[in-house]
Amino acid sequence: MASDTETTELATALRAAVRGDVAFSTTDRALNTMDASNYRRVPDGVVAPRDAEDVAAALAVCRERGVAVTARGGGTSIAGQATGTGVVLDFTRHMNRLLDLDPDTRTARVQPGVICDRLRDAAAPHGLTFGPDPSTHSRCTLGGMIANNSCGSHSVAWGTTADNVEDLTVLTYRGDRAHLAPGGTGVPTALREAGERLVNDHLALLRTGMPELPRRISGYALDQLLPEHGTHWARAHTGSEGTLGILTEATVRLVPSPPARALAVLGYPDESAAAEAAPGLLPLHPLTVEGMAADLVGDAARAHLPRGTAWLFVETGGADPAEAAEAARRVCRAATGTTTGETVVTDPRDQRALWRVREDASGTATRTADGSEAWPGWEDCAVPPERLGPYLRGFRALLTEYGLRGLPYGHFGDGCIHVRIDFDLLTAPGIERFRAFSLDLADLVTAHGGSLSGEHGDGLARAELLPRMYGPEMVDLFHRFKDQWDPDNGLNPGVLARPAALDDHLRFAPLPRGPVPVAFGYPEDGGDFTAAVRRCVGVAKCRDTKPGAGVMCPSYRATGEEKHSTRGRARLLHEMLAGEVVTDGWRSREVHDALDLCLSCKGCRSDCPVNVDMATYKAEFLHQHYRGRLRPAAHYAMGRLPDWLRLTAALRLARPANALAAVPPLAALAKRLGGLTPAGAGAALQPEPRPAADRSRLEIDRLTDRELDQLARRLISRVTRLVRTELRMDRERIGRLRDSSN
């Protein structure tokens, strides 16, 4: 961490060099300390470059001062690679354009900050899509997907991000510009020749020392530089997690998207049975083979599923709905005898509802059945699909040995398992157990011929364990490749090559160990406000601004600023409790300003996969923030409005008040004293007493028993009509599902 003087000088130099945004405030630093992982690293500041020239200028300033640089997209990485010290480059604010889309060549040229769904939506009118679709596709960026070599549900059909990359343009820490493509003609000569020597000197190792499986994401993809793979420099850099170069532009491949889809849902007695059945479905060429366990499926969604405690979601495509449905029925026929039930879902709305359950699993899996916290860290191991069943049994045995619990789900057709585990990451013994379990699980994955990461990358979570997977000789090649491209170790240090320990930089370390005195009860979090704040795991569903995405989060949709998202506010509260970046606790102006635009609508309480309740957190913060001090005038003017209205009615002051409000100078003075905006006219006060029927809405304590009975009957009637309507809609949806199943 740089000193205050060094940080000020760095910020000044960056502002002079780049045209984009340079943000070194407490708020900006706090918002970028974490991603969606267990890890936390505090940056000196954030730069949002406007173009590649800005990136080069920022790198030059940082290089002169020996400051590390970390590229960041949507901040949804699950292994810690989107956190960093030094300067964070935020590509989502300006470098977020889709530069070109060519339907004839089926390619698109993008900047690193473009959201995955923006590309997919642009390709859809041409009957095309971008194949990789991680569950965060509505808010993750192409730059982050390329850095991680992300995959998604459709990888059984369309492969990983590396499989869909044509070429990349990157800048090295030393300022060299490289155009990465097959053959390497756009790679600076010294870098190309050094890479070729590294590969040619170790051909046998690269051809035999890398596991053969669909989801090998761990380590550098040096085998892509082999002649038989076309010496594909772009794919060799995909998955390098921003440790070799900073991406400024990419050309990606698009694939035909079937006009119609259907979903075969297959039930199984447990996840091991589902895993063993998955490889047998691959010859039918499905679009997805996804596994889900009962603990991740709510009662409402389970009513749509066949009997079982684990399910495979097998999507099929076709030229029309009938062809897609027939393909799904073929899947069901092929699975008969191994399942506990099958259903074909053809209604697009019902398919979306089921896929939403799958996409929210990265959040809902953070709570076990009894409400205990569960964490990533072993989020995406992958093994050959035919080994998935035995691997899962070994995994379950290892959990039992360590007294841990987890909820497996994921890409069963690719042999990739997602799981959140109830690690104790708050105490020293718990962290020791986390480390010991990680070592043993790495050995189990390796014994099954697998990859420590099958989607989310190594980051801070698994890079330390790469020698267990690859052996020391291959890991030495990784280090030498890193040294060729980044000899100063200025790009995302501590990640992938020469990594930090997997139990360093845990984001829970600076949090209070005991409960914080608070006003609310937080019954779902054991009465612990810190545990309530920990609910936010960073999956960033609150940053989804697509139509139909729900109601979360209105202030982020209006401003586009992270601090006005549910995640951003939770991060600031986390840093307030940690006390390192936000240092003035409940009196924090940064937290106050971030919460100021929160509407307390409780949209997050229902839309957030982990049910973050920001309205309650805001009420708690404001209570503590103003405790023992005067509040702003508006709090007294509006917060006590019912009392002021009752007093006005009791003293019969409505008419004089209305007369005074009609005088502009007096009205402006009253608004100023009340802390209200001068714009707009105030509502006139009702001079006559309200009729009893109207007054009942505000003064229930004055109603007679007969009036209360009448009010209750009216409310019950209205609620009954609403519930009846919802039940009728549910009955119609279930009927459609049964018809399609029959």
What pLDDT does 435 receive?
Answer: 98
CA distances from 94 to 61, 176, 393 (A): 20, 22, 47
Which tens digit of pLDDT belongs to each residue from 216-262? 999 999 999 999 999 999 999 999 999 999 999 999 999 999 999 99
> According to the model, what pLDDT value does residue 679 have?
72
Residue 195 Cα distances to 205, 403, 456, angstroms: 15, 46, 25
Reported as a pLDDT band with limits 50, 70 and 90, residue 695 is very low
Give the span between the Cα atoms of 639 and 626, in whole angstroms. 14
The tokens 């495509």 sit on which residue?
Answer: 317
692 has pLDDT over 70: no
The secondary structure of residue 201, as a DSSP letter, is T
Per the prediction, the chain carries an average pLDDT of: 91
Q: Is the pLDDT of residue 697 over 50?
A: no
Of residues 354 and 339, more confidence is placed in: 339
Tell me what pLDDT residue 732 has: 59
CATH architecture of the domain with range 260-359: 2-Layer Sandwich (3.30)
Residue closest to 76 by CA, chosen among 119, 136, 21? 136
Other C-beta atoms closer than 10 Å to the C-beta of 376 total: 25
- Measure the CA–CA gap between 382 and 458, rounded to whole angstroms: 13
Reply yes or no on domain 103-252 having CATH 3.30.465.10: yes
Cα–Cα distance between 535 and 3 in angstroms, integer?
32
The proportion of the chain whose per-residue pLDDT surpasses 90, expressed as a percent, equals: 74
Query: What pLDDT is recorded for position 723?
Result: 58
Query: What is the pLDDT at residue 207?
Result: 97
* CATH pick for 4-90 out of 3.30.43.10, 3.40.720.10, 3.40.50.300, 3.20.20.70: 3.30.43.10
Q: How sure is the predictor about 462, in pLDDT bands with cuts at 50, 70 and 90? A: very high
Q: Is the pTM of this model over 0.85?
A: yes
Output the pLDDT for position 684: 80
- Closest to 349 (Cα-Cα) out of 742, 741, 739, 734: 734
pLDDT tens readout for residues 291-345: 998 878 876 677 778 999 999 999 999 999 999 999 999 999 999 889 999 999 9
Question: Measured in whole angstroms, how far is the alpha carbon of residue 640 from the centre of its chain?
Answer: 40
Strand order in the sheet with 107-110: 98-102, 107-110, 246-253, 165-171, 177-180
Q: In the chain, what are the domain boundaries?
A: 4-90, 103-252, 260-359, 523-625, 633-689, 695-742
Amino acid type, 561: E
Q: Does an H or E element contain 467, and which?
A: helix 466-470
Count the Cβ atoms, other than its own, within 10 Å of residue 475.
Answer: 19
